[in-house]
Amino acid sequence: MTSARHGRAMAFIFVTVLIDSIGFGIVMPVLPQLIVELSGGTMSTAAIYGGWLAVVYALTQFFCAPIMGSLSDRFGRRPVLLLALLAFSADYALMGFAPTLAWLFVGRFVAGITGATFTPAYAFVADVSAPEDRAKNFGLMGAAFGVGFVVGPVIGGLLGEFGVRAPFFAAAALALLNMIYGYFILPETLPKSNRRAFAWSRANPVGALAHLRTYPVVLGLIGVLFVHYLAHNSLPTIWSFYSTEKFQWSPREIGYSLGAVGLLMAVVQGGLIRVIVPRIGERQAAYAGLSLSALAFFGYAFAPYGWVVYIFMLPGALSGIAFPSIQGLMAGVVPSNTQGELQGGIASVSSITAIASPFLMTQLFGYFTAPGAPVYFPGAAYLAAGLLDVVAALLLLRIIRLKAAKPA
């Protein structure tokens, strides 16, 4: 692949992940109103339905991400990505036209399938990245998520002025345009000689992880990511409740703070990773990222004033070097025709924590802010998240030591 073609292909993958993130965020400002409109209930009822919609989405991704990854190992990255984007566009159009609440659940189910585009997308990145570039290229994908996290809700809020369904149609159009663009410029990165047969025994969450047991280091690192994800997912889950309860922030102040988090995340993952990881190496970057994440969560937990939270956003953003570094370590262990399976396994683990973490963290927050709580402590969930990141760092240290002690 020529350097110019490689650059265009990476740009397409970046935009694909960005649109995935924007597509999720763009509907957030209007989804509650649409649920109220379709259910005829109150905002409280809408919140309950919204929670179940999130569960449907996460569960579907849990089961479908390994399928998407295995399909890309069998047929190549290009056709899987393009078909997923086409389905992604159709799904948001479906949700935009939804006549009943049941159709929203159908839409979230389809979104759970098509939202797994990041599985072949990350496999694509692993295919085209030299070992020394893997972490920074994975970090670039993280930057796409960060930018989408900032831009999506803003666009959704603006488009919501034209009706609660307008953001859904905008997300559908974005995905369709990206699919058309990719059809003309996206090359295939997995040669036919390196492909492997599709097998249902591998194309499921348990099977994907079980087949990776031949790479003990990879399984150990997936365990590290599992613990880290449990911690990390507490940030968006609790943030609005925590900042309202502890600092009495208004919705606008909460929006500004989330925008600041997303902006810092995009800067770190889009730029600083390219400087930090090559200089200190993937292992040290992973340790540093997990440690900084723990520091940020401890800071959030005990911050006495709202402005103090902004100080700890910096180590929180810098902790973004952990995920691409750990992902780079894993990608360097498995062969090219197993990259899709690896990314599917990682995505399934992420989906599990996307279900478990919100439940656990909201329970902690609710217990320690209830009138009869033994100790009033709004930051309890973030304290738990910090401790989880400490555990993740210790697990990483043990895995690396065991690998180093194994005889060649």
Concatenated DSSP letters of 15-32? HHHHHHHHHHHHTTTTHH
Average per-residue pLDDT in the chain? Answer: 79
The yes-or-no verdict on residue 138 having pLDDT over 90 is no
Q: What is the mean pLDDT of residues 357-378?
A: 82
Give me the pLDDT at residue 407, please.
Answer: 47
In terms of Cβ atoms closer than 10 Å to its own Cβ (0-12, 13-18, 19+), residue 314 is: middle
Which amino acid would we find at residue 70? S
Sequence ranges of the domains in the chain: 3-185+202-405
If DSSP codes are grouped into helix, strand and coil, which group holds residue 99?
coil
**Alpha helix segments (H runs only) across 248-321:** 251-267, 273-280, 282-302, 306-318
Give the pLDDT band of residue 116 (cuts 50, 70, 90). Answer: low
Q: Which residues contact 385 (CB under 8 A, 6 or more apart)?
A: 230, 231, 232, 234, 235, 297, 361
Which token pair is 111? 């979104």
- Span 164-174, mean pLDDT? 86
pLDDT digits (tens, 9 = 90+) for 222-280: 889 999 989 988 887 777 778 878 888 876 677 678 778 878 887 887 677 778 888 88
Residue 391 — very low, low, confident or very high, per pLDDT cuts 50/70/90?
very high
Calculate mean pLDDT across residues 381-406.
86
Mean of pLDDT values over 155-170: 81
CATH of domain 3-185+202-405: 1.20.1250.20
Ramachandran region, residue 41 (left: φ > 0; alpha: ψ -120 to 50; beta: rest): beta
pLDDT at site 28: 64
- Which residue bears the tokens 């990682």? 346
Residues 6+ apart with CB under 8 A from 14: 140, 141, 143, 144
Of residues 176 and 142, the one with the higher pLDDT is 176
pLDDT of residue 224: 92
pLDDT of the residue at 63: 77
pLDDT by residue (tens digit) across 51-84? 677 778 777 877 777 777 777 778 888 888 888 8
To which residue do tokens 């937990």 refer?
301
Buried b (16+ CB within 10 A) or exposed e, 367-400: ebbeeeeeeebbbbbbbbbbbbbbbbbebbeebb
CA atoms of 45 and 127, how far apart (whole Å) = 46
Residue with tokens 């990314």: 343
Instruction: List, for residues 290-345, the tens digit of each pLDDT value.
Output: 999 999 999 999 999 999 999 999 999 999 888 888 877 887 777 766 666 676 67
SS3 readout for 191-230 = CHHHCCCCCCCCCCHHHHHHHHHHCHHHHHHHHHHHHHHH
For the residues 380-386, what does the mean pLDDT come to? 94
Task: Count CB neighbours of 61 within 10 A.
Answer: 25
Distance between CA atoms of residues 159 and 29, nearest Å: 10
Question: Model confidence over 170-220: pLDDT tens digits?
Answer: 888 888 888 888 888 777 777 777 777 766 666 566 666 666 667 778 788
Name, in order, each residue with C-beta under 8 angstroms of 25's C-beta and a sequence gap of 6 or more. Answer: 148, 149, 151, 152, 153, 155, 156
- The sign of the dihedral angle between the CA atoms of 303, 304, 307, 308 is negative
The predicted structure's pLDDT at residue 222: 86
pLDDT, average across residues 83-103: 86
What is the pLDDT, as a whole number, of residue 408?
41
Which pLDDT value is given to residue 188? 76
The torsion region of residue 40 among left (phi > 0), alpha (psi -120 to 50) and beta comes to: left
